[in-house]
């Protein structure tokens, strides 16, 4: 029985917590509840005590609690910390490490995986400062569940509605899945490449590396031995993952080909330049005339090269498309001899490059699956679960 600490912050979605506790228990989780003062205005601790079968914790400094289940003990007890609903204020505090009540103090003290189900008005969700807080939390290895889009308690429509309790529990179950990739070696490429034009300029693209890094972290959670080949990104080095940094498409090709032997799976999430300058002068190119021309040559196709190896790993490509998603993805699947391709829309407001969120349309020989818009950690876990299934098929 997995031990879940459920943190409830103040928001109308707190009324869903009763159902969430009930479902967690029927899914074999041992649940202890922590509420902020604001949360107790929406739902009584007594309701959650009755449903969880344990006293509900609300006070940071409580003489009785500190003797029995004080905040450090509670943090140590938890194998998972789920915060649902997480209000905009709660997310802001957690993202900055402000610990001024029991819930936020437990977040700092907890060493277990943390999952957050945001819930707030759509305008509050899309405010840049909330998105910054969200990105900071994701950067700190917090996994997001939702939010969903739809009609809200305030009468508005948009993103910000807390995911349904059944979806939250389904995602927790998936995220705490058995070690599907135990003893599997997996090689993942991530981020953009930089193609030098001269000593001070380069051609690159909008890839942040978030998708590839999420795949690396989730593959590790599923038990895989991960090697990550990363282009230049602003992300922190993933903990305990063998990571090699490269800059150009040529360097990425060399690193992948050097690491690929003995790998069970290769996932090419990197946005590799298709073309690179024919030659790179050693001196800065001087400004001249009103127009200039660049002469580019094709780079080597890394994922196609891996897929053409005699003992090729299960090879998964990505397809980043602005139009004809299915047609172009299926063409890449065949032409590059891939086992699977994960296609995503790019150049749109939501998902794709540099977003914390994405959606995927996945294709393989005689099969396909849709993963709807969610945070990249969650999406990575869904894609890896599918890869594990296909690998064993």
3-state secondary structure of 23: helix
Cβ distance 343 to 364 under 8 Å?
no
* Residue of the chain from 227, 259, 299, 361 that contacts ligand PMT (CB under 6 A): 299
Catalytic residue among 154, 174, 182, 237: 154
* Residue of the chain from 115, 165, 317, 380 that contacts ligand PMT (CB under 6 A): 317
Longest distance between any two alpha carbons in the chain, whole Å: 79
Residues 6+ apart with CB under 8 A from 349: none
* Residue of the chain from 268, 276, 374, 381 that contacts ligand PMT (CB under 6 A): 268
Quote the CA–CA distance of 304 and 290 in Å, as a whole number: 39
Between 81 and 345, whose beta carbon lies closer to ligand PMT?
345
Cβ distance 342 to 330 under 8 Å?
no
194 binds ligand PMT (CB under 6 A): no
> Which among 2-10, 49-57, 151-159, 349-357 is the span making contact with ligand PMT, rule CB under 6 A?
349-357
Cβ distance 196 to 280 under 8 Å?
yes
Quote the CA–CA distance of 82 and 94 in Å, as a whole number: 13
Quote the CA–CA distance of 363 and 332 in Å, as a whole number: 10
Quote the CA–CA distance of 341 and 362 in Å, as a whole number: 6
Q: Minimum CB separation from ligand PMT for residue 258, in Å? A: 15
Between 165 and 209, whose beta carbon lies closer to ligand PMT?
209
Paired sense of beta strands 225-230 and 114-118, if any: unpaired
Between 77 and 245, whose beta carbon lies closer to ligand PMT?
245
Paired sense of beta strands 357-364 and 340-345, if any: antiparallel
Site for ligand PMT in 215-254 (CB under 6 A): 249
Between 102 and 249, whose beta carbon lies closer to ligand PMT?
249
Site for ligand PMT in 74-113 (CB under 6 A): none
Q: Minimum CB separation from ligand PMT for residue 341, in Å? A: 8
Active site residue 154: yes
* Residue of the chain from 117, 134, 181, 211 that contacts ligand PMT (CB under 6 A): 211
302 binds ligand PMT (CB under 6 A): yes
- Helical axes 165-175 vs 376-392, angle rounded to 10°: 60
Residue ranges binding ligand PMT (CB under 6 A): 191, 207-211, 249, 268-272, 274, 299, 301-303, 317-320, 332, 344, 346, 352-354
Residues marked active site are found at 154
């Amino acid at each position: 029985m997995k031990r879940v600490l459920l943190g409830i912050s103040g928001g109308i979605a707190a009324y869903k917590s009763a159902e969430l506790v009930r479902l967690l228990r029927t899914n074999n989780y041992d649940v202890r509840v922590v509420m902020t003062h604001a949360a107790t205005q929406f739902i009584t601790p007594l309701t959650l005590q009755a449903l969880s079968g344990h006293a509900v914790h609300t006070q940071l400094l409580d003489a009785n609690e500190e003797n029995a289940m004080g905040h450090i003990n509670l943090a140590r007890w938890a194998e998972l910390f789920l915060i649902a609903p997480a209000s905009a204020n709660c997310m802001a505090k957690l993202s900055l490490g402000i610990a001024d009540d029991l819930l936020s103090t437990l977040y700092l003290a907890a060493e277990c995986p943390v999952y957050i189900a945001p819930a707030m008005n759509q305008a509050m969700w899309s405010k840049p400062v909330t998105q910054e807080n969200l990105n900071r939390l994701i950067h700190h290895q917090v996994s997001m569940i939702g939010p969903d889009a739809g009609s809200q308690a305030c009468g508005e429509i948009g993103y910000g509605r807390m995911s349904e309790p059944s979806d939250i529990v389904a995602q927790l179950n998936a995220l705490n899945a058995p070690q599907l990739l135990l003893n599997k070696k997996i090689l993942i490429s991530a981020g953009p490449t930089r193609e030098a034009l001269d000593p001070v300029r380069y051609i690159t693209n909008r890839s942040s590396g978030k998708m590839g890094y999420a795949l690396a972290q989730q593959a590790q959670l599923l038990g895989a031995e991960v090697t990550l080949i990363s282009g230049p990104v602003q992300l922190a080095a993933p903990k305990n993952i063998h990571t090699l940094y490269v800059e150009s498409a040529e360097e990425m090709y060399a690193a992948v080909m050097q690491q690929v032997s003995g790998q069970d799976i290769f996932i090419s999430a990197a946005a590799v330049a298709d073309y690179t300058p024919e030659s790179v002068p050693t001196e800065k190119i001087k400004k001249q005339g009103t127009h200039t021309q660049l002469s580019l040559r094709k780079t080597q196709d890394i994922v196609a090269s891996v897929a053409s190896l005699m003992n090729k790993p299960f090879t998964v490509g990505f397809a980043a498309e602005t139009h004809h998603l299915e047609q172009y993805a299926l063409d890449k699947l065949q032409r590059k001899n891939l086992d699977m391709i994960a296609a995503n829309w790019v150049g749109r407001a939501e998902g794709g490059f540099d977003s914390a969120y994405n959606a995927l349309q996945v294709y393989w020989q005689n099969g396909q699956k849709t993963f709807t818009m969610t945070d990249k950690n969650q999406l990575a876990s869904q894609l890896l679960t599918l890869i594990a299934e296909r690998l064993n098929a």
